[in-house]
Amino acid sequence: MNEPILSIKNAVKRYGPVNALDGVNLDVAEGEFLTLLGPSGSGKTTLLSAIAGFIALDEGQLALRSADITGKPPEHRDFGMVFQGYALFPTMTVRENVGFPLKIRKRSASEIEKRVNEALEMVQMSAFADRMPSQLSGGQQQRIALARAMSFDPQILLLDEPLSALDKKLRADLQWELKDLHQKLGVTFIYVTHDQDEALSMSDRIVILKDGAIQQEGDPNTLYDQPRNRFVADFLGKSNFLEAAVVAGSGASFQCETKGAAFTLDTQTPCREGETITLALRPERLRLGLPGEEFVPGTVKQVSYLGERCQVLVTREGGDEFLVSRPTWKTDITPTPGLQVSIGWDADAPVVLAPA
C-alpha cells in the first residue's frame, strides 16, 4: 500500500464493562471504498464516530496522512459524514443544507451557488433545490445528505448505514449510484453496514468486526473464499461447518475422514496427521447425488426455491445438517423431503478454519 490516507493504531473505547473498540488497527488507502461490516453492537458506529471525532478514544491514535488527528475536533477534520437518519437541517431548504459547509467556510456567494448546483446535479436533485427536507421522500433526503457531505470536497466520506432505512428496490438503485459516485469522484469512502450483500457488492475492501475487534479484512472475494474463522464464514454468506480428522497426507493434500466418510482435502493451510480440524463449506460448492454417487449419505429434510437457485437441507445420520444450493435448472434429481441422497464436494472446496 502507498502511504495510507487514514491510519488507526490500537483504538480502544470502553463503555463501562463493554469494550466497544478493543484494539483496532486499520490503514485506509487513498481513494478506496472500505466497508466496516459486523453484527449489531460490534462497534461499527463507535469506530466511525471515533474517526469523525465525535467520541474520544480511551487509547490509540488516529493519523491523517501521517499527521496526528487524535484530539482534533470534528469541525477541523474535514470529513464528510452521511447518517442513517439523514440528519438534514429541518429549518433549512435543500439549497441551504447543501451550502451549509461552504457558508461556514466563508466562501463567496457565487462560489456557494456554483458548488451547490454541481452537488445537486451530481445526485440528480437539481429540481428540488428550494424544497424543505420534510417535503422529500427518504431516498431523496438521502441523496441530499450525500450532496451536502460532498459539497466541500472532504478528505474522506464517512457513511453510517446510509441506506438501511430505505426499501429494498431503492436500496439497490442507490448502491449503484454510490458506487458510481465513488468511481467518479475518487474520494475515499468508509462505509458502515450490517448488510453483507451491500458490503460484497460495493466494497474494494471489507473489514469484519465483532465485539470491537477486527476478525478479518480483505477484498470481497478473498473474504468469501477464504474466511479465516467460523464467525467470518458464517457472517459473510452461508456456510456449512464440518469437523473432520486428518488421517494422512502432507504438503497441500490430505486424506480426511468425517463420521465414516473419507475425502481428499487440498489446502494451503498446514495440517498435521491425527489433528481434528473445522472446515467451512459454501452451500454452492456442495454436490447432490443419488445414494452411493457421492461420499456422504443423507436424507432431504427441506427444499426451498429462491428463483434461480434452490436450497436443499440434507440431514445425515448423527444429526449434522448440510445446506446445498443448486441451480434450479438442474433436473438430474428432484429433491423432495424424505428422499435418500448423497453429498459430495471437490477437494479444494473446504476452507480450514482457525481454531476458535
Smaller CB distance to ligand ATP: residue 11 or 112?
11
| 6-65 positions binding Mg ion, by CB under 5 A | 45
Q: Quick one: what does residue 186 bind among ligand ATP, Mg ion, other proteins, none, with the CB cut-off 5 to 8 Å set by partner type?
A: none
Q: Which residues have CB under 8 Å from 337's CB, separation 6+?
A: 300, 301, 302, 303
Secondary structure class of 340 (helix, strand, coil): strand
Query: With binding defined as CB under 8 A, does residue 114 bind other proteins?
Result: no
Interface with ligand ATP by CB under 6 A: which residues? 15, 18, 20, 38, 40-46, 194
Ordered alpha helix ranges (H), the chain: 44-52, 94-104, 109-122, 138-150, 168-185, 196-202, 220-225, 230-235
d(CA 346, CA 356): 25
Q: Quick one: what does residue 220 bind among ligand ATP, Mg ion, other proteins, none, with the CB cut-off 5 to 8 Å set by partner type?
A: none
Smaller CB distance to other proteins: residue 87 or 166?
87
Run of H or E residues at 28: strand 18-28
To other proteins, the closest distance from the beta carbon of 151 in angstroms equals 9
Q: Quick one: what does residue 104 bind among ligand ATP, Mg ion, other proteins, none, with the CB cut-off 5 to 8 Å set by partner type?
A: other proteins
Per the listing, cell 490500537 goes with 10
Residues 74 and 48: beta-carbon distance below 8 Å: no
Q: Quick one: what does residue 149 bind among other proteins, Mg ion, ligand ATP, none, with the CB cut-off 5 to 8 Å set by partner type?
A: other proteins
Q: How many residues sit close enough to other proteins to count as binding (CB under 8 A)?
A: 30
Across the chain, which distance is largest between two alpha carbons, in Å?
Answer: 78
| 215-234 positions binding other proteins, by CB under 8 A | none
To ligand ATP, the closest distance from the beta carbon of 44 in angstroms equals 4
To other proteins, the closest distance from the beta carbon of 196 in angstroms equals 25
In this chain, which of 44, 148, 210, 316 binds other proteins, going by CB under 8 A?
Answer: 148
To other proteins, the closest distance from the beta carbon of 207 in angstroms equals 21
* Closest by Cα among 269, 287, 282, 267 to 233: 282
| CA dihedral angle for residue 173, residue 174, residue 178, residue 180, rounded to 10 degrees | 20
**In this structure, which amino acid lies at residue 313?**
L
- Residue ranges in contact with Mg ion by CB under 5 A: 45
- Residue ranges in contact with other proteins by CB under 8 A: 49, 52-54, 73-75, 77-81, 83-92, 100-101, 104-105, 148-149, 152, 158
